[in-house]
Structure 1
Amino acid sequence: MKLYKELLTNKNFLLITAGRLFKRSALTLFTLELIWLTMELTSNSPLYLSIMTMAETLPFIIFGLYGGAKADKWNKKKVMVIGNSCSALLLLSIPCLNAVNLLNYYTLLMIAIAITIFSCFSEPCYRAILPELLSKTKLKEANALLDSVQRGVTIFVPASIGLLLKFFSEIHLFSLAFLLMATAVAFQLMVEYRPFNHSAEETQIKSTTFHGIKDSLSFLKGHPEITFIIAGQGLSILINTGLWRVGLPIYLEGYLNENITTFGYITGMMGVTSFITSLALGISKKYNPRVVFNVGMGLWGLGLLMIGTLPTMPIIYIATILIGVGQASEGLSRVVILQEKVPANMLGKVFSTSSSINYTSDTISLGAVSSLLGLFTIATLFSGGGTLILMIGLLGAVFGRVHKNGRRHLQTKKSG
């Protein structure tokens, strides 16, 4: 834990971490209450709820790459502060509009879309600013701690809703989200940051957004290892999201006579497991991010495969632990690899490309799972999906070994 203590004495990192804690708490609270308010405004319409849910993913598909291109060009601190300030005002507008009877489904939908668009700009800056504030030797521990903070939020905030409702009416949970987001902005304002001065070679990238996106895709084309990691995670999310958020609740109720409370326990267990895994990896002295990424994919796939082939509650709990360890491992490793291997002036664009792929995968997965459930049993989908993710991990290991041997061969040839 000594490494974490050293990080927490770094003023800028401490401010970034505190800002991240409050922002993620605000957005988690907003997402939870958005579902409740949508159901109330639409008399529990599944269609309207589905559209509202996609309002938190579709804008990222459209604006994500654009936001990443601008993140590399603009002042990252200013983008985060302005974007999160606007999001805070939008959160506050919800109880204000409700107080004057002007809040309806379509107004709420526009607010949700706008908050997501601001995130398209602020989120790439958050990851891209870290290498400019910390040395490379601290990035692994920093990302592990930040990921643990985020995962902790997904455990604590949902669990605290019942307690919060004793002090706030449901509509004023949005007011609380505003206060949390405003606090995040206050911490971000205190970060001491000067934009990174890129070398002459790095600044040759053309300044237009179109060319920024084109350069990002060209960079990925020339770096197959990074492309594999981004594509592998996107495919895994495509497989997992629909299975976990739609298939598993149906599986629990229809096959095992369990209810939504059990699903809550399972989700909480995954969050705790991911939290502990991120912290443990952060202080690990022997850490190869490529190996950890592949192992994480393998554990993730194995967990889904176990749920499909051995549908009993003890096995599902064990599988949940494996999935939590796997997702935390591959997620942290992906971030570390990108921050180590991608040039500073490309980080925002590459992170946005990755995020856009992930949001697209989320949206498609949720839209496709109901149709797939009409063609295959849930057990078959879990088994098949788990097998595919497991294969991604195995292919990653083979690809990494081939890539490593190729570099050795090239170095031997040059030295000869």
Structure 2
Amino acid sequence: MNLLTNRVFQVILFTDVIQQSAIWIRNIALLFFVMELTDNNPIYVSLLTVIEYAPIFLFSFIGGTLADRWNPKKTMIIGDLASAISILIIIGFVSNGNWQVIFLATLVSSIVSQISQPSSLIIFKRHIPEQMVASAMGIIQSLQALFLIIGPIIGTLIYSWFGLTASLVSITIAFFISSIVLMFLPQENKEQEQTSSSFINEIKEGVQYVKNSKNLMIIAATFLFIGLGIGIVQPLDIFLVVERLGLEKENIQWLYTLAGIGMLLGSVLAVFIGDKLNAERVIVGGLCFLSFSLIIEVSSVWFVLTAFMNFMTGFILATWQTTLRMVVIKLIDEQFLGRANGILTPLFIGGMLIGSAVAGPMVTYTSLIFTYFTAASIIFIAAMISTKLSLQSLSTSELTNTNELPHVSVE
């Protein structure tokens, strides 16, 4: 079967385009609106980031458990409808001058995504043939990389030309359209047969499932260290431009653009050769390269070298992310996919939040170079942990249980 003729993949890809557009319009509109209204107050600006990431950390496991219990198609449709309706309510409040409620737009969207995203993974697990998972993940990754480049442009144009209300209305329309398109997913046979088991018991089962899998425990530890390392350097990119390169802060957009282009090309490569790559080597090698690139970037005083490393980092990480997503989908039984994903994601986000919290004091009391070298060392530790992965038997022993699960064919 050709991947692009798979009805499920067509629906997921189309709704991804719509949702990515809505997310970037939301992010840019709220950022610009808050900066204008608060005179660039960093507390309100940082609050947007906290509101976006905190629900991922707090609700990911709960959302994953609910996704395992509920019909994934209905869950995704209701999630988009809930997002659209919440934006409509927020438009009403903003029109009456209660601008602070716009933070709810980010909060509601972030909470809902913690249920709808694992539901999407479950749909993938059921309906995308195993040999096509790598290509499917590569195309999705390519789409996300593309929106890293064009998303801010779309959001800026809509907000600049039409203002906040029009931006919020366009987000509402986008989520309504997405919910309608999701109705074209095939009917699911799985209803709530698991509801006889209590919610708490299902949480315990999810934790035990991850603990019983050596590979998942290794991935969990790797995620924690990666999040910590990335969290340290993420807020400090601007200082590479200003302090190390001696350029104006606006030039950071070129580094982000090159990283986005690298991710796009890396994702396209993963579409064609992702299923032929050695997963263990890609995971370990990608992390080693990320560690090495941080050292080069902070040591560089040449824009060309820094820009090249940003491009290569985007390129390598796109392949790395696609491979890891493919491994996770293949590794986890369908009935535990939401809960397992709900355990892994908070570890990464939690590590990132901790890293971001210590980044400022670390730079203040040491130096930018020391801080980047520390982050590089942490990510190298993640690479060493990932060498313990054993994925050679992924297609047999690790998947024995999933072969016993019901799948719905898609013609």
TM, length-normalised to structure 1: 0.87
Counterpart residue number, 1:142: 136
- State the alpha-carbon separation in 1 of the partners of residues 196 and 299 from structure 2: 52
Q: Cα offset for 1:167?
A: 4.3
**Counterpart code for 1:84:** D
1:50 aligns with 2:39: no
Partner residue in 2 for 1:248: 237
99, 107, 112: which one aligns with 1:104: 99
Q: In 2 relative to 1, CA 323–87 (structure 1 residues): closer, same or farther, beyond 3 Å? A: same
Alignment partner of 1:363: what SS?
helix
Q: Which whole-Å CA distance do the structure 1 matches of 2:322 and 2:5 have between them?
A: 22
Residue of structure 2 in register with 1:77 after alignment: 73
* Structure 1 match to 2:84: 88
Q: 1:205 to 1:92 in 2, by over 3 A?
A: closer
Residue 234, structure 1, aligned to residue 228, structure 2: no
Q: Is 1:33 aligned to residue 23 of structure 2?
A: no
CA contact (8 A) 1:89 1:178 kept: yes
Residues in 2 aligned to 1:242 and 1:380: alpha-carbon distance in whole angstroms: 11
Query: In structure 2, do the counterparts of structure 1 residues 205 and 334 end up closer, same or farther at CA, with 3 Å as the change threshold?
Result: farther
Task: State whether structure 2 residue 14 is matched by structure 1 residue 14.
Answer: no
Give the 5 Å matches for 1:267-346: 267-284=256-273, 286-346=276-336
One-letter code of the match for 2:202?
A: G
Once the two structures are TM-superposed, the CA of residue 119 in structure 1 deviates from its matched residue by 1.2
- What's 1:183 paired with? 177
Cα distance in 2, alignment partners of residues 283 and 81 from structure 1: 31
Return the offset for 1:197: 8.3
Distance 1:204 1:70 in 2: 11
1:67 maps to 2:63: yes
3-state SS, counterpart of residue 55 of structure 1: helix
The SS at the match of 2:389 is helix
- The match for 1:212 among 202, 227, 231 is 202
Shift of 1:205: 10
TM-score by length of 2: 0.88
Structure 1 gaps, min length 5: 406-416
Percent sequence identity is 18
Distance 2:284 2:325 in 1: 14
8 A Cα contact 1:133 1:193, kept in partner = no
Secondary structure, in 3 states, of the residue corresponding to 2:365?
Answer: coil
- Give the distance between the partners of 1:43 and 1:207, measured in 2 at CA: 52
User: Counterpart amino acid of 1:86?
Assistant: A
Shift of 1:393: 2.1
Matched residues in 1 for 2:128 and 2:168: separation? 34
Identify unmatched segments of 5+ residues in structure 2. 394-411
Equivalent position of 1:257 in the other structure: 246
CA distance in structure 2 between the aligned counterparts of 1:80 and 1:162, rounded to whole angstroms: 28
| Paired amino acid for 1:283 | F
Distance 1:151 1:208, change over 3 A: farther
1:184 to partner: Cα distance: 1.6
Deviation for aligned residue 1:83? 0.9
Moved more, 283-292 or 73-82: 283-292
Whether the 8 Å contact between 1:205 and 1:215 is mirrored in structure 2 is: no
Change in CA separation of 1:364 and 1:32 when aligned onto 2, cut-off 3 Å: farther
2:389 aligned residue: 400
* Pairwise CA RMSD: 2.4
**Correspondence for 2:117:** 123
How far did residue 37 of structure 1 move?
A: 2.0
Q: How many residues align?
A: 392
1:204 CA drift (Å):
8.7
Amino acid at match of 1:273: G
Paired with 2:392 and 2:125, the residues of 1 have a C-alpha distance of 25
CA contact (8 A) 1:300 1:386 kept: yes
Instruction: Work out the CA distance in 2 between the residues paired with 1:296 and 1:283.
Output: 18
- In structure 1, what residue type is equivalent to 2:257? G
Specify whether residues 162 and 64 from structure 1 end up closer, same or farther in structure 2 by C-alpha distance, changes over 3 A only. closer
1-structure distance, mates of 2:220, 2:195 = 22
Contact 2:233 2:359 in 1 (8 A): yes
SS, match of residue 194 in structure 1: coil
**Cα shift readout 1:215-268 (whole Å, capped 9, x = no counterpart):** 222122121222222331332122113413x21102311332212332111111
Tell me if 1:379 matches 2:369.
yes
Letter in 2 for 1:83: G
Q: Secondary structure at the match of 1:44?
A: coil
- TM-aligned CA deviation for residue 162 of structure 1: 4.5
CA contact (8 A) 2:122 2:338 kept: yes
- 3-state DSSP class of the match of 2:65? helix
Q: In structure 2, the residue corresponding to 1:207 is in which secondary structure?
A: coil
CA contact (8 A) 1:155 1:268 kept: yes
Pair 48,164 (structure 1): closer, same or farther in 2 beyond 3 Å? closer
Aligned counterpart, 2:399: none
Name 1:410's counterpart in structure 2.
none
Q: Work out whether residues 288 and 383 of structure 2, in 8 Å CA contact, stay in contact via their aligned partners in 1.
A: yes
Cα pair distance change 1:83/1:162, threshold 3 Å: closer
- Deviation of residue 17 (structure 1)? 0.6
- Supply the AA of the counterpart residue of 2:266: T
* Contact 1:64/1:356 (8 A) holds in 2: yes
Identify if the C-alpha distance between structure 1 residues 23 and 204 changes in structure 2 by more than 3 Å, giving closer, same or farther.
closer
Structure 1 residue 170: deviation in Å? 3.8
One-letter amino acid of the structure 1 residue matched with residue 31 of structure 2:
I
Q: Deviations over 1:159-185 (max 9, x none)?
A: 234443564224422222222222222
Cα deviation, residue 344, structure 1: 0.7
